[in-house]
Structure 1
Amino acid sequence: MSIITTSILELRWSGVTIKAIWRNEQFWVIRGVSAHLFAVFQGFLKMLPSIDTNFTVTAKAADDTEFGELYIIKWTTLLIPPTTLIIVNMVGVVTGFSDALNGGYESWGPLFGKVFFAFWVIFHLYSFFKGLMGRQNRTPTIVILWSVLLASIFSLVWVKINPFISKTDSSTISRTCISIDC
């Protein structure tokens, strides 16, 4: 309760609107799953002795024809993780409702917590998704293909792990052989 009160007082004293805070939080999530993720990956690659990740520094006054190819940014690799995250959460919501419809009354309680967090991620990435689709639906095909592939792999791994079924409760484990290692 004191954290909420402190946050409300800080909002009031600073004069920052809730909309500005929401936009800042959205951009924080988008940067966290795209650019910062690749920065960490590049840092790991720099630690390997045989891989060189140096970049060329150019002056602003440099001739555009000489370094023109350096200013062309290929955004496709940065678009894949957030798009994958959107797809995984959308599939999770659909799968959750499907499982709740098939599972009966007891499965609706845990569903609301799972769906809340899935929608929380989707709402945070909504501006990214809107910008991605806002360019006359010219999203690069490779982004969609890699995102669907990664989302499928993550979903299959999640189904295989299935963390919401306890290992000791044999009543919830299916008697048929549906796993990969049967």
Structure 2
Amino acid sequence: MKKCAVFCGSRAGNHPEYLASARKLGHAMAERNIDLVYGGASVGIMAAIADAVLERGGKVTGVLPKFLSDREIAHEKLTELYIVETMHERKRMIAELSDGFISLPGGIGTMEEYFEMLTMGALDQHKGKSGLLNVNDYYTPLIQFFDHMKDQGFIDPSSRKAMIVEEDPEAILDIIFSE
């Protein structure tokens, strides 16, 4: 069974496309028998993707730090929920449990998780591919910044090409889980 980590916001954002895309990705994952591994919360985009996977009969594993369980509110209907002590433990466990990584729109934590998985992949510290689901052009400024880093000589063209960006949930799953 393949497992995909999805990093995303504990808020819903200001555009309905964010929640709709999370639901579409969750449905596609369940239909392809790809289990979800995520932050374990029942709020924001995090809840939308977990609920979408579950409503189509998929499996969902949450990893939630104890200190966030009050703020992010643990999802009570998950297949598995791990309570850990720190954010570092959360990311480590999510990385260990997952075969691929997708980032939906989110805030600082989502960015930090994406960058860590992207860096770990570039250093051959995990086996999965990392991608951005660019919903409503959310990640376009970040993509432009990566091009700027390449143009300024801080990342090489192959590193920039490794940055997977798609607007369609089905397409990103095809790339992340291609052999």
- Structure 2 length-normalised TM: 0.22
Task: Give the structure with higher Rg (CA).
Answer: 1
- Structure 1 length-normalised TM: 0.22
Structure with the largest fraction of helix: 1
Structure with the largest fraction of strand: 2
